[in-house]
Amino acid sequence: MSREEFMAAAAGFPEPFRLLIRESVESTNDEVRVLAQAGAPDGLVLLAECQTAGRGRRGAAWFSPAGESLAFSILVRPDEPKALWPRLALAAGLAVAEAVESFGLQAGIKWPNDIWIGQRKVAGILVEAGSDFAVVGIGLNVNSNEFPPEVSEIATSLRIETSQIFSRAEVLGEIVRKFAGRRRQISDDFDVLISAVRLRCVLTGKRVTLTTAGGPGVGTVEGIADGGELLLRTTDGLERLIQADEVRLLPP
């Protein structure tokens, strides 16, 4: 890793973001949680070249090959009430989508916060809350050329999409800048944030299967509600889902 390149990019981070680089950790989310519990400040960004136990949502493993991808976690100490913290996941997803777009690609958001290019996932986000802080973990495939067989059909990278190599440091800088603005919109300006998410929502109008707390479901996505919930039309009517897993598109 070019530590100098990352530190140079970090010099352009907005306040209060600061970069800490680790060569190898189990998971950057776990590392930031420990630092947060020890009193680390809002805006700490911990980037690891290698994660030996990177985690995705629902406890899945997250594959982030050294030198090719970005794996980092941001410590947020929100001023907003805890009930609004889940919105940080939407803010982070939007920030990543906008950063990807700033490099000339078209990004989609698969609610709540997978980032897609075309029909493939390029980035994932894992937000975990502590008592007085949240950890926003972001994994983005930047220069990867191949993936493990279990995800090779559904994953992509900036490089695969463009045949170009990207500066990971520049991409990191863009994401942090976008997130610095969007994280401020989880309260009063949430309508602005949601409008930008809606523009990129790849599920709207599509038939999907998914798993909710109440069990498996199937329906057509009508969009995203004002509070950030997924609006799913099922045979029982319009459902407003705060959380859902395994959201899969059905063929048209």
Please name the residue ranges forming H helices in the chain.
3-10, 28-37, 87-101, 158-162, 168-182, 190-200
Nearer to ligand BTN, 46 or 194 (CB): 46
Residue with tokens 């976008």: 178
Q: How far is the CB of 40 from ligand BTN (least distance, A)?
A: 16
Q: How far is the CB of 251 from ligand BTN (least distance, A)?
A: 23
Cβ-based burial of 56 (10 A; exposed 0-12, middle 13-18, buried ≥19)? middle
Cβ 172 to ligand BTN shortest distance, Å: 12
Residue 30, SS3 per DSSP: helix
Q: In angstroms, give the least distance from the CB of 65 to ligand BTN.
A: 12
Q: Which residues bind ligand BTN (CB under 6 A)?
A: 27-29, 51, 54-57, 60, 62, 64, 71-73, 114, 124-126, 137-139
- Return the number of the residue (65 or 137) whose C-beta is nearest ligand BTN: 137
Question: Which residue lies nearer to ligand BTN by CB, 125 or 186?
Answer: 125
Nearer to ligand BTN, 175 or 194 (CB): 175
Measured from the CB atom, is 140 or 194 closer to ligand BTN? Answer: 140
CA distances to 3, 58, 105, 106, 217 from 48, in Å: 11, 21, 25, 27, 37
Shortest Cβ contact with ligand BTN: which residue?
Answer: 124
Contact 107, 200 (CB under 8 A): yes
* Non-local CB neighbours of 195 within 8 Å, separated by 6+ positions: none
Q: Position 52: which residue type?
A: T
CB 115, min distance to ligand BTN, A: 9
